[in-house]
Amino acid sequence: MSEALSHFFGDWHALLALLLAGFLPNEIWRMIGVWFGAGVDEGSELLVWVRAVATAVLAGVIAQILIQPPGALAGVPDWLRYGAVAGGCLVFLATKRSIFAGVVSGELLMLAGTWWLG
Amino acid sequence: MRSITSTVLSVVLFSTYVGIGALAHEARFSLGWALAGTLFVFAGPAQIILISTLGSGATVIQAAIAVTVSAIRLFPMVVSVLPMMRTPQTRRRQLMLAAHFVAITLWVECHRLLPKVPRDRRIIFVHGLGTGLVAVCLTATTIGYALAANLAGPPAAAILLLTPLAFLLSTARNCRELSDVLALLLGLVLFPVVARFHTGVDILVSGVVAGTVAYAVHWWRERR
């Protein structure tokens, strides 16, 4: 039983990293929102900057996954990965910003590309 | 019509978490680790940042800083959602679980659905909605992890492409001001440049610089 559990969760270092670098950083901001949120103006200049930085950090991670792709995605040629994402973005814009349509067409583009390449 | 929009939203959430499960597998984390992340972190961007920073060899402190910066966006979300649930009798600790469920999807749904719920039942409603969303995400994480473990070639690549595609488009959708659009575009463009310097905190450097430039443009336009 305990062996099955340790296989399921992996080593405790990774779980500790999850607690310290995953759970706490998020929960802290949520709790600060609960305790000190009253009277903060959502449109304030500081929050505009905060949102811009948070958006750019996420954009960086998206770029990282595309440029230094993990696992099987690395087997897809660079131009096809970028092309599929660009195509998905175009469909997204053409469909009044439908995330669903953009994701589906990006995926189909990449699959069609890999099929065409053989 | 209401059910359609909520379905599309949960399809996007579902595919996001399928992607997170697959990414966790590729970075050699255990399934239990991935599920614990979904349950306790419950913020897609933070989970992606955590997996890719730790997976690419960053230290726990570097990962923690990058995640903390990305998680600041939860603060204004909590601040804007909680007043909708509060009554004069509400105590702060009653709001803590509801606050844990706050992430982009719940934030959108609260603004859409809470006005139709009687005020004294809103906290209960959010607990139910949040538990449901977490259950959906746990299922999706498991499916993504299993798919990545069992597929190879193009189908596996397609699962892994879900994450960047879904996050890019849902972030683009949530852009409210010019500064948000600029931050997204500059962040995408600047990362490859910063990555050449191998600072170890590439994501953080490119994020802070791109975000600040985007804000500066916004500030300059407002002032004129």
- Residues from chain B that touch A34, judged by Cβ atoms under 8 A, are 78, 82, 92, 95-96, 99
Distance CA B35, CA B50 (A): 14
Between A and B, how many CB-CB pairs are < 8 A? Answer: 329
Of B158, B174, B190, the one marking the end of a domain is B174
Are B156 and B90 members of one domain?
yes
Are B134 and B167 members of one domain?
yes
In eight-state DSSP terms, residue A98 is -
pLDDT attached to residue A88 = 96
Q: Where are the domains of chain A?
A: 76-118
Q: With pLDDT > 70 as the criterion, what percentage of chain B qualifies?
A: 96
Of B154, B174, B194, the one marking the end of a domain is B174
Residue range A89-94: mean pLDDT, rounded? 96
Are B32 and B77 members of one domain?
yes
Are B46 and B83 members of one domain?
yes
Contact B34, B24 (CB under 8 A): yes
- Residues from chain B that touch A77, judged by Cβ atoms under 8 A, are none
Q: How are the residues of chain A apportioned to helix, strand and coil, as percentages rounded to the nearest 5? A: 80, 0, 20
Are B94 and B168 members of one domain?
yes
Token pair in block for residue B84? 């909708």
pLDDT attached to residue A40 = 67
Domain count, chain B: 2
Residue range B21-47: mean pLDDT, rounded? 94
Are B151 and B202 members of one domain?
no
Q: With pLDDT > 90 as the criterion, what percentage of chain A qualifies?
A: 52
ipTM of the complex: 0.87
Are B187 and B168 members of one domain?
no
Contact A91, A102 (CB under 8 A): yes
Model confidence, pTM? 0.86
Of B137, B155, B174, the one marking the end of a domain is B174
In which band, very low, low, confident or very high, does the pLDDT at A82 lie, cut at 50, 70 and 90? very high
Which amino acid would we find at residue B132? Answer: G
Domain that holds residue B98: 2-174
Q: Which of B181, B191, B212, B218 to mutate to test the interface with A (most CBs of A within 10 A)?
A: B191
Residue range B174-185: mean pLDDT, rounded? 88
